[in-house]
Amino acid sequence: MNLHEYQSKKIFSDYGIQVPRGQVAETPEEAVAAAEALGGTLWVVKAQVHAGGRGKAGGVKLAKTLDEVRDYAAGMLGQQLVTPQTDAEGLPIEKVYIESGSNIDRELYLSMVVNRDARKVAFIVSADGGMDIEEVAEKTPERITTVNIAPEVGLAEYQIRDMAYGLELTKPQMKAFAKVARALYQMFIDIDASQVEINPLITTGEGEIVALDAKINIEEHALYRQSAIAELRDPS
């Protein structure tokens, strides 16, 4: 089961992984109220559907005024979004996520998958973020770094360095990235995820590492188990 971007980002944030501030909206009025509450002068209106490739399909729009926020939200809500990752009918847009616009320096790629047979989690990273990773894998496989984590050892320092090298990070960015990688690994194990994709993970003009997009996939059995645990902890 895939979580929506805003749900995935909430989990990231709980683990101390930086994400842009944002609010969900179901009407154009809520979208404007969300933008006002966020403040600033640049917002991003993002269709919440279970498919990537929204940007090129009109499902991610940069707004410079509150009127643009309203117009973009009105243009998306209630419509079907057709992206290269959906069928011809597309997916209904029931919610939009209103985010503060980030000051993007570079767009990177990071994903995590689990190899069930080897019972190992792997990180896959590339300095070529924001693009179709399948295309990168096909045309320039040397631009992709894969790190397999032995569960009994966990994420090792040298593995973080290998990834940071593949991502072409500077020293200070490397430090920020190490925190992100450790947090992601802990999160992945805790929530029993089957896949995580951050495309793009960005470096900002302020020297931070921020998850600009977020996709978490959790096996349904893991979700049931977690809600059962939550209920045991907090019976209502």
Give the residue numbers marked as catalytic.
Answer: 109, 197
Q: Is 213 in the site for Mg ion (CB under 5 A)?
A: yes
Q: Considering only residues 107-146, where is the footprint of ligand ADP by CB under 6 A?
A: 107, 130
Q: Considering only residues 2-21, where is the footprint of ligand ADP by CB under 6 A?
A: 20
- Minimum CB separation from Mg ion for residue 54, in Å? 7
- Minimum CB separation from Mg ion for residue 100, in Å? 17
- Minimum CB separation from ligand ADP for residue 106, in Å? 11
Backbone angles phi, psi at 100, to 5 degrees: -70, 140
Toward ligand ADP, which CB reaches closer, 60 or 160?
60
Dihedral, 192, 223, 219, 189 alpha carbons, nearest 10 = 0
Q: Is 8 in the site for Mg ion (CB under 5 A)?
A: no
Dihedral, 131, 206, 100, 163 alpha carbons, nearest 10 = 40
Using CB under 5 A, pick the residue from 126, 173, 199, 203 that binds Mg ion.
Answer: 199
Q: Is 52 in the site for ligand ADP (CB under 6 A)?
A: yes
Contact between 184 and 172 under an 8 Å Cβ cutoff? The reply is no
> Which residues make beta-bridge pairs with 211?
201
Q: Which tokens sit at 103? A: 């000051």
Burial (CB < 10 A; 0-12, 13-18, 19+), residue 209, is: buried
Our measurement of the distance from residue 183's CA atom to the centroid of its chain's CA atoms, rounded to an integer in Å, reads: 14
Q: Is 102 in the site for Mg ion (CB under 5 A)?
A: no
- Minimum CB separation from ligand ADP for residue 182, in Å? 23
Cβ count near 111 (within 10 Å): 18
The CA distance from 114 to 196, in Å, is 10
Give, in degrees to the nearest 5, the angle at Cα 63 between 70 and 131: 125
Toward ligand ADP, which CB reaches closer, 28 or 200?
200
Rg (CA), the chain: 18
Q: Which of 53-61, 115-123, 184-192, 220-228 is the region at the interface with ligand ADP (rule: CB under 6 A)?
A: 53-61
Q: Considering only residues 189-218, where is the footprint of ligand ADP by CB under 6 A?
A: 199-200, 212-213
Cis bond before residue 235 (omega within 30° of 0):
no
Q: Which of 69-77, 100-108, 111-119, 141-149 is the region at the interface with ligand ADP (rule: CB under 6 A)?
A: 100-108
Cβ count near 78 (within 10 Å): 11
Q: Which of 30-38, 94-102, 173-181, 211-219 is the region at the interface with Mg ion (rule: CB under 5 A)?
A: 211-219
Given the rule CB under 6 A, which residues bind ligand ADP? Answer: 20, 44, 52-55, 60, 99, 101-102, 104, 107, 130, 199-200, 212-213
Given the rule CB under 5 A, which residues bind Mg ion? Answer: 199, 213
